[in-house]
Amino acid sequence: MERERYVVRECVKKIKNKMTSVHSLFPEIDEPDVLESRVIDCNMMGLSAEFLACSVVAGFGFMAHHINARGYDFVVECKGRLMRVQAKSTSKAVNGMYAFNTTYEISDKLRRGGGKRNTAGLTLTQCDAMAFIAADIRKVIFLPVQDGSKSIRISKAEFLAPDAERLS
């Protein structure tokens, strides 16, 4: 246990020193606790969640391609058509519930002076399905798009259900 703490402390020091080599950051990369304790920013967490959801779909035998287009993150080949899937992730449950923001930014214009973002709820115009990812437990739930909804809450129990990672 003390050895694991030492490894984590050393990794954190190296991250703070902005070293870029994966092997220098994670000399004992096979130890699961090393990767679990790493702190990552929101963009990296989101990207990781997109790839997790994409791999779950591929695990069901569908061709899945990471795209990161406006309004969706990956496409799935299903019954001769491409389904656009938007991935949304959150890092932890609060009072047993995961809260997801299901909006997208309408304008590409840069906000000046900290102005308010112009957002709207996703609709079938942007994507066909949503992948909700609980990053802390690495579970995914797929749901159809609910036109215009700006948020959704899903319980931790729903993520942990035996058939949670299924395609609706």
pLDDT at 36: 53
CA distance 54 to 17: 32
> Residue 159 corresponds to which amino acid?
F
pLDDT at 132: 93
Rg (CA), the chain: 18
Which helix (H) or strand (E) is 81 found in, with range? Answer: strand 81-90
pLDDT at 39: 53
Cβ atoms of 85 and 127 within 8 Å: the answer is: yes
pLDDT at 91: 85
pLDDT at 19: 43
Picking from 63, 58, 85, 89, the residue whose alpha carbon sits closest to that of residue 73 is: 85
Query: Has this prediction a pTM greater than 0.85?
Result: no
pLDDT at 114: 55
Which helix (H) or strand (E) is 134 found in, with range? Answer: strand 129-134
CA distance 110 to 117: 9
Sites in the chain below the pLDDT cut of 70: 1-41, 104-120, 166-168
* Helical residues (DSSP H) of the chain, grouped into ranges: 2-16, 22-25, 32-36, 42-59, 156-160
